[in-house]
Chain A
Amino acid sequence: SYVLTQPPSVSVAPGQTARITCGGNNIGSKSVHWYQQKPGQAPVLVVYDDSDRPSGIPERFSGSNSGNTATLTISRVEAGDEADYYCQVWDSSSDLHVFGGGTKLTVL
């Protein structure tokens, strides 16, 4: 089955840029979606279809996808961005939705 690999943790200082990667075999051929989950809360969609943002999500959140790596980029990181972030794809070969293992973003 298709596997998505994320780093367990990423740390960044306030005001800097955080990049969270999601690796998968030829992931560039798939649509990648990203979710933010704060402690005790349900996940929230922050990026869909590689780089689109739902309404209400700040422009600081952006995404890219090419080759074997998709990336969620958070610019001008704020303390409120501290959360777990998950990537997700639909694997058409297996008809399954797949999540990455999640990345904990720590704002120093």
Chain B
Amino acid sequence: EVQLVESGGGLVQPGRSLRLSCAASGFTFDDYAMHWVRQAPGKGLEWVSGISWNSGSIGYADSVKGRFTISRDNAKNSLYLQMNSLRAEDTALYYCAKDSDGSANRYFDYWGQGTLVTVSS
């Protein structure tokens, strides 16, 4: 059974940093690309970032480019999102999602339950 468990969310002040983690199990992690997708309270889904199976291809939404960094550790079956210079508009539930293949340009076949990030003073 595929499981994706996010952690690291919380309340943070504007301008500060936060690192999210996603622990994956139930599939061969290093065969698949992974993504972060967020959902602001009462709003729709927004793709944040994706990383290919070997970290060779990485992409970011324009809204986070230059502030967020995605990474993965295949030895630990883990995905990360380093979030710097946080803004109020980054407040959202952050989902970890598995891609259907290794290239990061397909679709999201499994999702975690999300970790909530609140940016407020």
Residues of A within 8 A of B (CB): 1, 31, 33, 35, 37, 42-45, 48-49, 54, 84, 86, 88, 90, 92, 95-102
- Inter-chain CA distance A33–B108, complex, in Å, is 9
Let me know if B46 and A99 touch, CB within 8 A: yes
Q: Give the residues in chain A near B44, CB-CB below 8 Å.
A: 84, 86, 99-102
With an 8 Å Cβ cutoff, the count of chain B residues facing the other chain is 21
Let me know if A43 and B106 touch, CB within 8 A: no
Q: A1-B62, A35-B45, A86-B45 are in contact. Are A97 and B109 (CB under 8 A)?
A: no
Let me know if B46 and A33 touch, CB within 8 A: no
Is B53 on the interface with A (CB-CB < 8 A)? no
Q: Give the residues in chain B near A92, CB-CB below 8 Å.
A: 105
Is B114 on the interface with A (CB-CB < 8 A)? yes
**Interface hub of B50, B61, B107, B109 (most chain A Cβ within 10 A):** B107
Q: Give the residues in chain B near A100, CB-CB below 8 Å.
A: 44
- Inter-chain CA distance A97–B44, complex, in Å, is 14
Closest to A86 in B: B45
Let me know if B108 and A35 touch, CB within 8 A: yes
Q: Is the interface of A mostly helix, strand, loop or mixed?
A: strand
Closest to B48 in A: A97
- Write out, one digit per residue, whether chain B residues 83-121 have a CB within 8 A of any chain A CB (1) or not (0): 000000000000100001000011111011110000000
State the Cβ distance, A69 to closest chain B Cβ, in Å: 19
Q: List 15 A-B contacts (CB under 8 A).
A: A1-B62, A31-B106, A33-B108, A42-B95, A42-B113, A86-B44, A86-B45, A88-B45, A88-B108, A90-B107, A92-B105, A96-B47, A96-B61, A96-B62, A100-B44
Residues of B within 8 A of A (CB): 35, 37, 44-47, 50, 59, 61-62, 95, 100, 105-109, 111-114
8 Å CB contact of B111 from A33, A44, A49, A84 = A44
Q: A43-B45, A99-B45 are in contact. Are A33 and B113 (CB under 8 A)?
A: no
- Inter-chain CA distance A100–B47, complex, in Å, is 11
Let me know if A45 and B108 touch, CB within 8 A: yes
**Interface hub of B44, B109, B112 (most chain A Cβ within 10 A):** B44
- Inter-chain CA distance A22–B14, complex, in Å, is 35
